[in-house]
Structure 1
């Protein structure tokens, strides 16, 4: 497993991380045994970065991570969590010192630790990016020894660019995949200039880029791919990257023709993301050990040829950009 520098934090992290949303909830049923097996398999493969959030299964994801790390002992991976989405309603006015501190305290308990490695504002309302005091509260939590670093998880490129104007924002988590290529146009250059870590999420476009879905694929009622295609529960772009399902399936068939014989489509899609050196780590999810092992293999793939990269950019420009480029 190859390692990359994580911004200015002084840490290096595995270029393939573990996205722990699926083991928390909103992806159908994942048993505790499968969830823990997925975590163990990732860590066995050399993963040193885990991303979770306090709302993933209402703390279940954080608690499972704590259990696995306690079972393993030894050196611990870098664990990132998120806060803010527990607010109801989720409004900028809720980002108070009192609320942020309470969320951090809860995650400290869930993760069974004295200090959180990284806390990210969890796709906050746009107004939060213009409230300097919120970032001051995060500075104070660092000073108090409750968190080591903080960053933001964003929906839009514009939010990412605004967030990194704050000098102590150490990382930005953003959707970046074959169906969401806009971050590479401007944001990545700015992140590199400021030495900000970049976490690429939704790398397989909610499973579309595994190449295993079809028009007849069905999803459990509690799986966001069944109930959030039009943004009914949260931002539409978090489900299938915001691309209409039928359009995405058609483009997947064109992508399939470019996948080399020595790789699965999922590995290929992850390796495409790793071609961008501004990306610190990619966080595919895994519901079981086999998926976790498959994700980790992407780190070993050779660089993609220039003609393949050109073809993938062309597919995005001609088939996908009209649906997503100016929305996120």
Structure 2
């Protein structure tokens, strides 16, 4: 495992880390703590030392599993959680300093920790990024020792650019993969200037880039890949990176033709790690085999310039016109 510095936080983290949206089971299934414990411990055994969770993952069960992991291991494990998505309705008006403080304190209780290394606003409405009092509340939480650093998880490049205008925002978590390339333009340039840590999320486009799906694949009733393809429940970009499923399968086959012998997930993750601005990538895993396959990306040789260009041509030819301007 290779390590990178998470921007100006100074945290030395595994470049291939772990997202825990589905760590306790597949999307739409009940949270399984035994499965979560096995995956989380296997992650640490493989050199991963940065775990990203959220209070809404498994309705708090993911945070509980992460807290249990931290207390059971001797290694330094950096914990990132997120807050805000529990607000109902999830609107700008619902975002208040007391509400967010309450969520942070609830997360501390869930995990049994005194301090969270990194707390992130969890994809708030765009208007929230224009409210200094929201960001100011986290300075107080830092002073009180409840959190060490503040970050944001965003839907849009424009939100990321606005967020890093606040001096206490040290990290940005953003969707970035072969099928979602816009962040590599202006945002990455500005992030590098300010030494912002970039956490690449949804790196496999909700599993599309694993190469394991086909037109015959059936997703369960409660899986967002079944019910949110057109943004019915939350931002469309969270599901398959906002790409039409049929078109996504066509693009996947184009990538597979370039790398017929290499696991597609590893190629997709290595493509992301080829960007200097990226601090880490956080694929999820619903079983240990998925985790082990993802970890292999860190040990792969870097993609050559020619290989990267060929992958980018797949995006330009099939995907760019549909999604580039949207997020």
Q: TM-score, normalised by structure 2?
A: 0.97
* Alignment match, 1:220: 220
Q: Which structure 1 residue ranges, 5 or more long, are not aligned?
A: none
- 1:81-138 Cα offsets, whole Å, 9 max, x none, are 0000010001112221210110011000111100110000000011111001111111
Partners of 2:138 and 2:102 lie apart in 1 by 12
Give the deviation of 1:24 after TM superposition. Answer: 5.3
* Alignment match, 2:58: 57
Partners of 2:225 and 2:294 lie apart in 1 by 20
Alignment pair present for 1:323 and 2:305: no
Give the deviation of 1:281 after TM superposition. Answer: 0.5
Alignment pair present for 1:264 and 2:263: yes
* Alignment match, 1:200: 200
Alignment pair present for 1:99 and 2:117: no
Q: Which structure 2 residue ranges, 5 or more long, are not aligned?
A: none
Which of 20-29 and 158-167 deviates more?
20-29
| 1:203-282 to 2 correspondences below 5 Å | 203-259=203-259, 261=261, 263-282=262-281
Q: Please tell me whether the aligned partners of residues 275 and 303 of structure 1 are also in contact (alpha carbons under 8 angstroms).
A: yes
Q: Please tell me whether the aligned partners of residues 24 and 56 of structure 1 are also in contact (alpha carbons under 8 angstroms).
A: no
Task: Indicate the SS of the match to 1:309.
Answer: helix
Give the deviation of 1:75 after TM superposition. Answer: 2.2
Alignment pair present for 1:294 and 2:324: no
* Alignment match, 1:39: 40
Task: Indicate the SS of the match to 2:119.
Answer: strand
* Alignment match, 2:190: 190
Q: Please tell me whether the aligned partners of residues 198 and 279 of structure 1 are also in contact (alpha carbons under 8 angstroms).
A: yes
Q: TM-score, normalised by structure 1?
A: 0.97
Going from structure 1 to structure 2, the CA distance change for 1:65 and 1:137 (only over 3 Å counts) comes to same
Q: Please tell me whether the aligned partners of residues 267 and 295 of structure 1 are also in contact (alpha carbons under 8 angstroms).
A: yes
Partners of 1:137 and 1:231 lie apart in 2 by 31
Partners of 1:98 and 1:258 lie apart in 2 by 51
Partners of 1:24 and 1:119 lie apart in 2 by 21
Q: Please tell me whether the aligned partners of residues 208 and 252 of structure 1 are also in contact (alpha carbons under 8 angstroms).
A: yes
Partners of 1:279 and 1:201 lie apart in 2 by 11
Going from structure 1 to structure 2, the CA distance change for 1:102 and 1:24 (only over 3 Å counts) comes to farther
Q: Please tell me whether the aligned partners of residues 259 and 265 of structure 1 are also in contact (alpha carbons under 8 angstroms).
A: yes
Give the deviation of 1:299 after TM superposition. Answer: 0.1
Partners of 1:33 and 1:289 lie apart in 2 by 12
Which ranges of 4 or more aligned residues in structure 1 deviate by more than 4 Å? Answer: none
Task: Give the length in aligned residue pairs.
Answer: 326
Task: Indicate the SS of the match to 1:69.
Answer: helix
- RMSD between aligned residues: 1.2
- 1:170-214 Cα offsets, whole Å, 9 max, x none, are 000000001000000111111011000000000000000011100
Give the deviation of 1:70 after TM superposition. Answer: 2.4
Partners of 2:137 and 2:70 lie apart in 1 by 29
| 1:158-173 to 2 correspondences below 5 Å | 158-173=158-173
